[in-house]
Amino acid sequence: MTYPLEGVRVLDLSRVLAGPFAGRMLSDLGADVVKLEPPQEDLSRLWGAVIGRMPGYFHQQNAGKRDICIDLSVLEGVELARQLAAKADIVIENFRPGVMDRLGLGYQRLKAQRTDLILLSITGFGQDSPESQRRAYAAAIHAESGLVKRQARDGRPPQDIRVSMSDTNAALHGLVAVLAAMYLRQTTGLGQHIDMSMLDATVVTDDQLLYHLEDSHDTGPAVSDIWETGFGPVLIAGDFRHIWRQLNTRAGVKDHTRDGASLEEKIQQRRESAATFFRSLKTKAQVQEMMESLGLAWGEVRDSSTLMGSDTVRHRGVLTEVDDRAGGLRVIPQTPYRFSNAEAAVRGGAPHRGEHNEEVLRDWLELDDEDVGRWLDSAALVAAEL
């Protein structure tokens, strides 16, 4: 079996998450992804446990890539970046709008040397919006899109969600756009400049938005409840009215509501009866059997650190191990793409800054020893820290 994107070259100029995650997925699909890292390093090298001098956050988003460290503040560095871009099928960047042009790496400049180049630009608010120059991290987009305020429950203040959804959504929508552009260029021979906004991607992926736009909250499903069992807390998906109906008619849970009780009293009594019943389930097997008999979807309220305790995670290899750069192995999420007759997988650990300077010069630019030496001695490249 072969990788779907084998032979595709990607130059990844992006930082932190939105761009790097798109690059990581392209690598998992077989592309040769070269990360162009500045001398100051990607900010995400500051986050996560350090193993083999490799921080965990950077490792997860850049696994399988090669790394070349180029100083774009000098003309030689920009020229080298242009030469690499001319050899790339795809370039990824997530600078603020205008930065690539100021660097001399804007789409029109790159397109002039390769007309079928696909440039994916991920920004917070788009290339040409009135707010295009605002700094944007996922949390800011969560606030602007309404997600933060939506988290307020039971009188609690609004709070951010604990996953960088706006970054990863933009990355995945950007990935879809890149693959569509690759398909289109087979017939047109032309590339594309893809303007992917984190705000756009977050809004279009928000399946709850219509209830807020149309003030129709009472028409949507209720928030799923978490119930304590003898096995531990479980979330049961669905409206409590349906859950109660199943408990009452299939499991024989009695309704002890007194005659003439108010609606609030009736709901409270039924919830107490349900809670007592769920606490009587002592093992995971009992919970599983009961949920199946009631036709209810449920989930163990699991700490992320215990994912390996999931039968499905182990069976499907949702988590895998790669070289930790210190003589051992390191756990990392596996690619989610499963094909019937093609391969996809994380293809190694993340690179050190500038680790593949010479290798990339030889592979992509096909330079001889003299030219490689000239670039390595120039101000364009920063030596690897191995």
Q: What are phi and psi of 36, to 5 degrees?
A: -95, 105
Distance CA 127, CA 98 (A): 8
Catalytic annotation present for 32: no
* Three-class SS state of 319: strand
Task: Compute mean pLDDT per 10 residues along the chain, 386 residues long, and list them.
Answer: 95 97 98 96 94 96 97 96 98 97 96 97 96 93 94 85 96 98 97 98 95 91 93 95 96 91 94 97 96 97 94 96 94 97 96 96 97 96 84
Half-sphere exposure of 320 (CA within 13 A, CB side): 18
Continuous segment of H or E residues that includes residue 55: strand 54-55
Distance CA 97, CA 283 (A): 55
Among candidates 83, 80, 87, 64, which has minimal Cα distance to 8?
A: 87
Among candidates 217, 224, 171, 231, which has minimal Cα distance to 198?
A: 171
Superfamily of domain 9-208+317-376: Crotonobetainyl-coa:carnitine coa-transferase; domain 1 (3.40.50.10540)
Tokens of residue 182, six digits: 């690759």
User: Which of 67, 89, 167, 195 does the annotation list as catalytic?
Assistant: 167
pLDDT at 386 (0 to 100):
67
| CA angle (345 as vertex; 94, 166 as ends), nearest 5 | 30
- Which residues lie below 8 Å from residue 194, measured CB to CB, with a gap of 6+? 118, 119, 120, 121, 174, 177, 178, 181
Half-sphere exposure of 94 (CA within 13 A, CB side): 30
Distance CA 149, CA 377 (A): 53
* Three-class SS state of 271: helix
Distance CA 180, CA 163 (A): 27
pLDDT at 286 (0 to 100):
97
Tokens of residue 38, six digits: 């500045």
Distance CA 122, CA 196 (A): 5
Q: What is the 3-state secondary structure (H, E, C) of 92-143?
A: EECCCCCHHHHHCCCHHHHHHHCCCCEEEEEECCCCCCCCCCCCCCHHHHHH
Domain boundaries, the chain: 9-208+317-376, 221-306
* Three-class SS state of 169: helix
